[in-house]
Amino acid sequence: SFALRAKEHPGIAFTISGHTDSIGSHHESLSRARVESVLAYLEVRHQLPRLRFVSIAAGAGQPAADNATGAGRQLNRRVDIRHADFSMPAVIYRQTLEQTMAGHTAQAFKTLNVWLHLAPQRQKLLMLFDPRLDSIKSGPRWAAVQAAVRKSYGRYAQPELAFLLDSLWAEDQRHRTLKYYIENLGVYLHDYDEGATKWDVDFPASDAAIAVADSVHFLGMQGIIEAEGWPVSSAVGERAATAAFLVVNHHLDTATLAFYLPRLKQRCLEGEAEWLWYATMYDRLQVLKGLPQRYGTQYRRVEGEEEEYELFPLEDAAMVDKWRDELGLGVLQKKKCDQIVFNEP
């Protein structure tokens, strides 16, 4: 039976979708009730936790048969269960969001605590920044969640510094790429969730507000570097160490970049930082000084085009790939592009 096979493979997740015929109204609530009935049965009779299921109230939108006949309508009043290629943490995080949005705070915390035990360590901090959880971010239960996230940094040689730097990474990326990482924490069903704004993550801010935030972050990072030196990846983790590069690189001051560039280079020589960071900071400094870049890391928006970018001028187009190779970087794609892809550090 399905229940026996599901028990034999406890790491597999499923979608469970409720459907109705086209007669009458309240299709969504009816299909949701069908799903709940089956989930309750599986949980009570077969001890299959509902945490393994992504629930879908499909309504009358996906008929399996012709609604013009009684037999067809009967077939359409159904529940489908399908194997899903989702990670279990992503399934459980979606349920946490659904429970939070429904106002089921106690259940949301129970589910969130399960997620904290299963989620990869690097995802746990992202959850703290998720605005979709704002309604439960208070009180002792939320304080316990925060404490659990901090405790997860105990794997690093400098756990407190690792947590602080990772938090600065998230703050630096708040108005840049953070939304994408947070949105990817939970399962997203394109066929059902498209256009549903409740799943969107957004951190709106003006350019002026972002500039102020960048300055504040730099002051904090400056104090950390003065006290601890440039962060070491092996002691705090790669993403946390990336925070120093990002925060300094976003402080658009040539004297500042010139001061920190040798420190970053030394960490690269020690194998404790990425040469791409050094190349990017070097090129950023050159561009800010009105000089051509060496490694081809800096792009600018093409005038008159909203989503098209081109390289800033190169110091020597014939030498750029040799210089990049010396740092272990790949061949430069010297062409215009209509999309810049940022990978998570």
DSSP 2-54: HHHHHHH-TT-EEEEEEE--SSSS-HHHHHHHHHHHHHHHHHHHH---GGGEE
d(CA 260, CA 245): 9
Which residue do the tokens 């002691």 mark? 235
Q: Which pLDDT score, from 0 to 100, does residue 32 have?
A: 96
pLDDT value at residue 232: 97
Question: Which residue in this structure is represented by tokens 């925070």?
Answer: 243
Q: What is the pLDDT of residue 125?
A: 99
Average pLDDT (219-223) is: 98
Q: How confident is the model at residue 81 (pLDDT cuts 50, 70, 90)?
A: very high
- What is the band of 341 on the pLDDT scale with cuts at 50, 70, 90? very low
pLDDT in tens, 94-135: 999 999 999 999 999 999 999 999 999 999 999 999 999 999
Q: Is pLDDT of 168 > 60?
A: yes
Q: Is the model's pLDDT at 342 over the cut of 50?
A: no
User: Which CATH class for the 1-85 domain?
Assistant: alpha beta
Give dist(CA 283, CA 312) in Å, integer. Answer: 9
Residue 202, pLDDT above cutoff 80: yes
Q: Residue 40: its pLDDT value, please?
A: 98
DSSP lists the bridge partners of residue 56 as 17
Question: What is the rounded CA–CA span in Å between residue 17 and residue 33?
Answer: 10
Q: Where are the domains of the chain?
A: 1-85, 120-273, 290-345
- Mean pLDDT confidence for 31-40: 97
Task: Give the number of other CB atoms < 10 A from CB of residue 212.
Answer: 12
pLDDT of residue 334: 62
Which pLDDT value is given to residue 307? 80
Closest CA relative to residue 274, chosen from 258, 303, 297: 297
This prediction's pTM: 0.90
Q: Which two tokens stand for residue 112?
A: 């969130």
At 305, the pLDDT band (50, 70, 90 cuts) reads: confident
